[in-house]
Amino acid sequence: MLELQSTLLKRAAQITGGYAQLCEYLGVSDARLRLWLAGSVRLPDPIFLRAVDLVLQDDIARAAHDRRQRPRESPAPKARANGSLAVG
């Protein structure tokens, strides 16, 4: 879980424009953010949810601007001689 919070906060910092801006967005000190990034302290749930919301909203906005008209399609499974399906 602590590795996930570090990844989440790094992504949130990219979205906001840096760690100082993320601190402002979350309403926390730089020292507190550094503890969370290092995995020394668990994120409080309200901060975690605020960061998740930021990342999800950014991902949704990016998806809306995706140039593809259809989602990516996986190749169809190939049938083997014995009737079972081969993946890939």
Residue 42 lies in a domain: yes
Per the listing, tokens 């879980």 go with 1
| Count of structural domains, the chain | 1
pLDDT for 69 equals 62
Position 70, amino acid: R
Residue 80 lies in a domain: no
Sequence-distant (≥ 6) Cβ neighbours of residue 84 within 8 angstroms: none
Look up the domain containing 19 and give its range.
Answer: 2-64
Residue 44 lies in a domain: yes
Residue 78 lies in a domain: no
Which ranges of the chain have pLDDT less than 50? none
Residue 36 lies in a domain: yes
Q: What is the pTM of this model?
A: 0.70
Q: Name which of 58, 61, 33, 57 is nearest 47 in CA terms.
A: 33
Residue 51 lies in a domain: yes
pLDDT for 62 equals 85
Residue 76 lies in a domain: no
Sequence-distant (≥ 6) Cβ neighbours of residue 63 within 8 angstroms: none
Residue 34 lies in a domain: yes
pLDDT for 43 equals 95
pLDDT for 18 equals 96
